[in-house]
Structure 1
Amino acid sequence: MAGSGLVAAVACGCAPVGGSEDGRAPGAPTGVTARAGSATSVHVMWNAVAAGPEVSAYEVYRGGKKVGDVPGSAHMLDVVRLTPSTAYVFTVRARDAVGRLGPRSVEVRATTPAAAAADRSPPTTPGGVTGRAAGGRAVQLSWSASTDDRGIVSYDVYQGDTKIHSVGGGQTATVVTGLRPHTRYSFTVRARDAADNVSPAGPPVRLTTPTGADEGPDTAPGGFRALSRLADGAYYLDLSWTPPRVDGVVTEYQIELDGRPATSLVWGGAPPRGKAAYSFYAGREARVGHRVRLRARLPDGTWGAFSVERTVTTGESA
């Protein structure tokens, strides 16, 4: 196996990781990230925890102090009233509908930038904002960079009047997931600088997601390859891919072999941001053909689209 902290659950059905189906507390949230939104705020995000009974809320901690509660339908929080030029540590816990608290997530760190003295000038409005539906449950948004006399720290994405996401100041595109099929949405983007000056909203992008629960190709892993390898008298399938570019960190994948779920992969540590790889046992017989593809569990807790399907035969090279 490749990747830090990678765990494989072989030949699973594949039940949600982090669940509490038999009365246990929810699992620890995965995919936790923290990014400075300004000199006095940090944007914390995490992946939805699948649990039964379902998660009712998430608790966010700065060090050992709880700094926020958000409903179970959300997986982000802006932690505000921070000190400029300061390093902070954050963790997240899930709480289920009967009040059980799960363990804390891994710690993530963020450092707020220095405050800009007497900076009252907001960034320019993001321009060229465009979007398109990426299946029934996701949209892809992009915009042109704003300018600011001290530099852009982040971009905030709004759905109507509600802030739903934040990305770093060097990023000008994102895929927003967790939407409803056959629903009309309006999105806007605002730029933010280190002094918490916020630009006017860019022009709204109005989109209607198509009917059906199609996840859309933008939520599928890319560059998927499958090769056969012989080692110690047995054949293995070596897989590689790049994670889908969605609004968060992907920590779990499901591999389908010959039309059936075969393996669930979960990164307990930091998942790869670039190419990911995994190898699994395929038997000792040569010239056996297999069909293989995989999909990612998205940060909102739903499954994304499958990758392209590859056919590989044991004992044959690419």
Structure 2
Amino acid sequence: MRRAPTLAASTAAALCLLLTATACSDARGSEDNEPPTVPRGLTVEAGSATSVHVMWNKSTDDVGVSAYLVYRGNTKVKEVSGDRHMVDVTGLTPKASYAFSVRARDAAGNVSPVGEKVPVTLLAPTADDREAPTVPTGLTARGAGPRAAKLRWDAAKDNEKVTAYDIYQRGTRIHSVAGYATSTLVTGLHPGTDYTFTVKARDAADNSSPPSGAVGLTTATAPASGAGPGSTAPGDFEVRARAEGGAYHLDLSWEPPETGGAVAAYEIHLDGRAATTLMWGGDAPEGRAEHSFFVTKERGRTYRVKLRARLPDGNWGAFSAERTVTTR
């Protein structure tokens, strides 16, 4: 004889169904459908006759970026983890021209739109070049806030030409710059941490010099308080108010910080608060930068103005000196 379920059993079954339905609803509600932002600040440097160094700024995501996809034309050639923002692409054809781009992907598989395509032409090969460049000398390192370090060195020499400098941290290559550079900003470091850097010179035939002398530093444990030698802050910052068409605009100009990569974005603050974000992408000026924007129609308004750059690792750098300007 089949018995009717007891009240307790019925209640338990209903509660189980309710919990199951709620769990399913929560799972559906927590689906990640938002893709990461487009990687910006892409730079591509030909390090030799057969390789390029690709570097970009960190993307953002509502949950987190899990990987970056690097494309040569429309073909994916590299995939790196979300905590990396640079990679070498090898096996290319000497003197050939390519265009590279990067997309970001999150753990749910959402992929950002493709970033700007940056062209590059490989170097000419050097026949039977087996002579490595000389060792870079005079390496120095200075802290640039809690997450960055400014490195400088004296140029190496080569029987043909130095085409790249590779920066190493305890024997692991973490960065590369063009052969004409003798300084760079290494970002993505941890506050209050000991680091040891060396530099090697490389030529078009991929011959590498022995490492330079090692130099060490300990990053700061607190945020940088402002500009200074080796700072990540924009330099020589100037502001003036300009009247035009019954309105006032602010004209800004500054020297970009030396980051070892393109500065794709700046955050401009008025009176201590973020007012606007200037996005340049791959069109960031190489020299002194300028920007103008509307502020008010009122005469006699005084503003305090400063700005900071987004570094290649995605963190904001130190603020520039603050300037005061009045609409007249």
TM-score computed with the length of structure 2 as normaliser? 0.87
Letter in structure 2 aligned against 1:229? R
Aligned pairs (5 A) from 1:80-95:
80-95=90-105
Q: Residues 143 and 173 of structure 1 are in contact (CA less than 8 Å); yes or no, is this contact kept in structure 2?
A: yes
Give SS of 1:249's match: coil
Name 1:273's counterpart in structure 2.
Answer: 286
Instruction: Describe the shift of the 1:224–1:302 C-alpha distance in structure 2 as closer, same or farther (beyond 3 A).
Output: same
CA distance in 2, matches of 1:23, 1:115: 46
CA distance in 2, matches of 1:122, 1:52: 46
Indicate whether 1:123 and 2:136 are aligned: no
Give SS of 1:202's match: coil
2:34 aligned to 24, 28, 32, which one?
24
CA distance in 2, matches of 1:53, 1:183: 27
Instruction: Describe the shift of the 1:216–1:128 C-alpha distance in structure 2 as closer, same or farther (beyond 3 A).
Output: farther
Name 1:114's counterpart in structure 2.
Answer: 124
Shift of 1:23: 3.8
Name 2:238's counterpart in structure 1.
Answer: 225
CA distance in 2, matches of 1:55, 1:248: 20
Q: Residues 116 and 194 of structure 1 are in contact (CA less than 8 Å); yes or no, is this contact kept in structure 2?
A: yes
CA distance in 2, matches of 1:264, 1:200: 43
Structure with greater helix share of residues: 2
Output the aligned Cα RMSD. Answer: 1.5
Shift of 1:213: 2.9
Name 2:75's counterpart in structure 1.
Answer: 65
Give SS of 2:47's match: strand
Name 2:259's counterpart in structure 1.
Answer: 246
Name 2:26's counterpart in structure 1.
Answer: none
Name 1:138's counterpart in structure 2.
Answer: 148
CA distance in 2, matches of 1:38, 1:61: 19
Q: Residues 134 and 216 of structure 1 are in contact (CA less than 8 Å); yes or no, is this contact kept in structure 2?
A: no
Indicate whether 1:154 and 2:164 are aligned: yes
Indicate whether 1:255 and 2:268 are aligned: yes
Query: Structure 1 stretches (4+) deviating beyond 3 angstroms?
Result: none
Letter in structure 1 aligned against 2:306? R
Shift of 1:73: 0.7
Q: Residues 243 and 274 of structure 1 are in contact (CA less than 8 Å); yes or no, is this contact kept in structure 2?
A: yes
Q: Residues 41 and 281 of structure 2 are in contact (CA less than 8 Å); yes or no, is this contact kept in structure 1?
A: no
Question: What is the percent sequence identity of the aligned residues?
Answer: 54
Shift of 1:168: 0.8
Indicate whether 1:307 and 2:317 are aligned: no
Q: Residues 126 and 146 of structure 1 are in contact (CA less than 8 Å); yes or no, is this contact kept in structure 2?
A: yes
Shift of 1:64: 1.7
Name 1:179's counterpart in structure 2.
Answer: 189
Shift of 1:269: 4.5
Shift of 1:216: 6.0
Name 1:11's counterpart in structure 2.
Answer: none
Of structures 1 and 2, the one scoring higher in RCO (CA 8 A, sep 6+) is 1
Pair member with larger Rg: 2
Aligned pairs (5 A) from 1:184-223:
184-214=194-224, 217=227, 218-223=231-236
CA distance in 1, matches of 2:233, 2:150: 13
Name 1:236's counterpart in structure 2.
Answer: 249
Indicate whether 1:165 and 2:178 are aligned: no
Instruction: Give CA-to-partner distance per residue, 1:253-291, whole Å, 9 cap, x none.
Output: 111111111111112451111122222222222111111
Instruction: Describe the shift of the 1:153–1:179 C-alpha distance in structure 2 as closer, same or farther (beyond 3 A).
Output: same
Q: Residues 32 and 45 of structure 1 are in contact (CA less than 8 Å); yes or no, is this contact kept in structure 2?
A: yes
Instruction: Give CA-to-partner distance per residue, 1:135-185, whole Å, 9 cap, x none.
Output: 211111111111110110100001112211111111111111111111000
Instruction: Give CA-to-partner distance per residue, 1:41-71, whole Å, 9 cap, x none.
Output: 0001111112211111101111121111111
1:50 aligned to 45, 51, 60, which one?
60
Number of aligned pairs? 295
Shift of 1:247: 2.2
CA distance in 2, matches of 1:294, 1:201: 37
